[in-house]
Amino acid sequence: MSETVRVRFAPSPTGEPHVGNVRTAIFTWLFAYVGNVRTAIFTWLFARRAGGSFVIRIEDTDQARTVEGAVEQILDSLRWLGLDWDEGPDVGGPYGPYIQSERLPRYREAVEELLADGHAYRCFCSPERLDQARKEKQRLKQPPGYDRACRDLGNAERQKLDKSGTVPVARFAMPRDGTTKLNDLIRGDVSFENALIDDFVILKSDGFPTYHLANVVDDHAMEISHVLRAEEWLPSTPRHVLIYRALGWEPPLFAHLPILLAPDRSKLSKRHGATSVLEYRKMGYLPEAMLNFLTLLGWSLDDHTEIMSRQQLTENFSIERVGKSGSIFNVEKLDWMNGQYIRSASPDRLAGALLEYWKAYPPPEIPDLPGEQQVLGIVPLIQERLKTLADASPLIQFLFKPEAKYDPAELVQKGMDLDRTRAGLEASLTSLEGLPAFDSETIEQALRSLADELGVKAGQLFGSLRIATTGQRVAPPLFQTMEVLGRERTLSSVRGAIARL
């Protein structure tokens, strides 16, 4: 094993192509579920904390399930979260290629070696024969898996099959008894009964290796020091350890991350609304909130710190503080955290995030996107009111329309009538026209004393003015809105409202 930390994130760009078009397939593809991205985050944090290398490797040996376009989606999710990689399919590196389908000769070489040493054997069984054997094992209540028929073939029989033209698979010859032990950095000592693991396939008849073999060959060739991956891979690990041993290689260290649970403590899945990280992006979550939230699913700094910047996370992450038990994915907490991040963002950051979001998902309410300066001016209006970036465009759409659109009846507030509403708007117009300055404080003072003078509730007067200037019942704070609209536009909307009454 190498001295330095080299870790990898090894997604499989597979999906369920049958569930509709490719796009749907990509969005439902297993990797994209937040759980897999969390694996990427932990691996990245570990690399950055240790000053090591973070490697991306695409595991596309299951050709039938490989979905076109999925690799780009995977890389996009990581980029969005700001997880940068040192080596990978797009950037290359000294251990490439980083796509398994481009590394086939290496796997074949390893298989040849295992076959030659008797650690593997060729299996000629047809799917029908395997099916029969499986049923027979079920009947005898034996552990499932291959019945090893080809392992015990005599030489003559093997030669005959070799010549028969049937393309064999290669299977690993599991030890028939004993246990395989490993020390997991999170779960401690774990051991597995060899007899319960069948002689699994390492090379398929299409010439592609299986995950188990390719994973071992590549982690060794790429000098990976630590493997961080989801707990569901733990049962595969004894297989890997045995392949390492058979090839005379030292396995890396393993850390299996706790499973993600839904609030009802069942395994997190699509049915809980959990979806791909890019969907969360589309819903308007900030990447820094998502990174923080996902890191806390299984890791903690202490028993109370929740909001942590990227830098704090990379400075403090450690495998020792990754828990063993499942962590609950709670969307309400994500919402809360996203709100925290939005409210504490600098105006620059929030303006940048909004623009980036609108560019990626053009809002129908704002056909022509505003420039950065204009967005900076809008930010103070909405910063306190956003739960997600998606909330912004409906709130401020009036700014992008030549004039406010509404039903004039809406101008008349509860407890008011037409005449009093008109009088209020006319008095407001005079007051606003005469203001020495047109900033929110001056406007507020003037309109509050006006409401007193007129003997109407402030809310009634402001309600009419809100409709007049924005056409919306729900809008940013009135006085700031007027300031952003400017005197001229504010006055002309109030005049317009009076005319429409």
Pairing of the two strands 53-56 and 179-184: unpaired
Asked whether 173 and 151 are in contact (CB, 8 A), the reply is yes
Please write down the HEC assignment for all residues of 229-285: EEHHHHHHHHHHHHHHHHCCCCCCEEEEECCEECCCCCECCHHHCCCEHHHHHHCCC
Query: Near ligand GLU by CB under 6 A, which window of 7-15, 190-198, 450-458, 465-473?
Result: 7-15
Closest distance of CB 180 from ligand GLU, Å:
17
- Minimum Å gap between C-beta 168 and ligand GLU is 25
Q: Which is nearer to ligand GLU, 210 or 428 (CB)?
A: 210
- Is 457 catalytic? The answer is no
Pairing outcome for strands 226-230 and 253-257: parallel
Which residue lies nearer to ligand GLU by CB, 186 or 412? Answer: 186
Instruction: Look up tokens 């552990």; give the residue.
Output: 143
Q: Tokens representing 350? A: 């929030």
215 binds ligand GLU (CB under 6 A): yes
Applying CB under 6 A, which part among 10-18, 126-134, 192-200, 388-396 lies near ligand GLU? 10-18
Selection from 385, 326, 325 nearest residue 350 by Cα: 385
Catalytic, out of 160, 267, 270, 387: 270
Among 95, 233, 244, 249, binds ligand GLU (CB under 6 A): 233
**Structure tokens given for 297:** 């699913």
Instruction: Say whether residue 361 binds ligand GLU (CB under 6 A).
Output: no
The answer to whether 415 and 460 are in contact (CB under 8 A) is yes
Among the residue ranges 6-14, 73-81, 142-150, 176-184, the one whose residues contact ligand GLU (CB under 6 A)? 6-14
CB distance 481 to 469 below 8 Å: yes
Count of residues that bind ligand GLU according to CB under 6 A: 9
The footprint of ligand GLU on residues 55-74 (CB under 6 A) is: 59
* Selection from 252, 130, 241 nearest residue 175 by Cα: 241
The b/e string for 328-343 (b: 16+ C-beta within 10 A; e otherwise) is ebeeeebbebbbebbe
Among 10, 45, 182, 278, binds ligand GLU (CB under 6 A): 10
What does each C-alpha distance from 342 to 284, 377, 393 come to in angstroms? Answer: 11, 16, 15
State phi, psi for 316 to the nearest 5 degrees. Answer: -115, -10
DSSP assignment of 340-380 equals HHHHHS-HHHHHHHHHHHHHHS--TT-SSPPPHHHHHHHHH
Q: Give least dist CB 79 to ligand GLU, A.
A: 19
d(CA 492, CA 380): 23
Q: Is 11 in the site for ligand GLU (CB under 6 A)?
A: yes
Residues 33 to 52: which contact ligand GLU by CB under 6 A? none
CB closer to ligand GLU out of 214 and 497: 214
Cα gap 358→242, rounded to integer Å: 51
CB of 62 to ligand GLU, least distance (A): 9
> Residue 446 is encoded by which pair of tokens?
């003037």
Task: Work out whether 244 is an interface residue with ligand GLU (CB under 6 A).
Answer: no
- Bridge partners for 328 per DSSP: 261
Among 229, 239, 281, 466, interactor with ligand GLU by CB under 6 A: 229
Residue 181 belongs to what H/E stretch?
A: strand 179-184
**Binder among 7, 12, 281, 497 for ligand GLU (CB under 6 A):** 12
Q: How far is the CB of 11 from ligand GLU (least distance, A)?
A: 5
Residue 186 interacts with ligand GLU (CB under 6 A): yes or no: no
Residue 491 in tokens: 């006055």
Q: How far is the CB of 35 from ligand GLU (least distance, A)?
A: 10
Residue 211: CB minimum distance to ligand GLU, A: 6
CB of 174 to ligand GLU, least distance (A): 19
Distance CA 403, CA 472 (A): 12
> Is the Cβ of residue 284 or residue 326 nearer to ligand GLU in the bound state?
326
CB nearer to ligand GLU: pick between 212 and 281: 212
- Residue range at the interface with ligand GLU (CB under 6 A); choices 9-17, 69-77, 147-155, 472-480: 9-17
Choose between 52 and 394: whose C-beta lies nearer to ligand GLU: 52
List residues near ligand GLU by CB under 6 A. 10-12, 31, 59, 211, 215, 229, 233
Residues labelled as active-site residues: 270
